[in-house]
Amino acid sequence: MTLRGRFADVPGAAGEHLRAVAHEHGVLAARHTSDGTVTYGAELRGLVFRHESRQGDDADDPGESAGAAAAHAVHAWAAAHGVTVTIDRTDTTCLDDITIRRRNRRAG
């Protein structure tokens, strides 16, 4: 699950702190984890939240359920850091639907 959004309200002290640690939240830190990973730049405009959510077979709509869990997690992260964020776009990928193509390696 990947959520793309924006910082909506960044009070002074919270913004200073987030800018100071922005180097820890660059694209190279991006991971899909159960806790979620936030990446953003020091300008504090856009952010990307990556979240791994495992849904059981009993979920009515696994994508919707995963989206709700990820949205809750990103808003909890924002609240913990004293900021407000908006979510503009949500992308869901079911790993069961991914086909892995292996290269055909020929001995030669």
Q: Considering the domain boundaries, does residue 64 fall inside one? A: yes
66 lies in some domain: yes
Domain coverage including residue 63: 2-97
- Higher model confidence: residue 77 or residue 1? 77
Is residue 23 in some structural domain?
A: yes
Query: DSSP readout, 47-94?
Result: EEEEB-----TT-SSHHHHHHHHHHHHHHHHHHHTT-EEEEEEEE---
Determine, yes or no, domain membership for 45: yes
- Is residue 107 assigned to a domain? no
The least confident of 14-18, 73-77, 102-106 is 102-106
Which pLDDT does position 106 carry in this prediction?
Answer: 65
Q: Determine the Cα–Cα distance for residues 50 and 36; give it in Å rounded to an integer.
A: 5
Residue 21 has pLDDT above 90, yes or no: yes
How many domains, in total, are found in the chain? Answer: 1
DSSP annotation of 6:
E
Q: Is the residue at 18 inside a domain?
A: yes
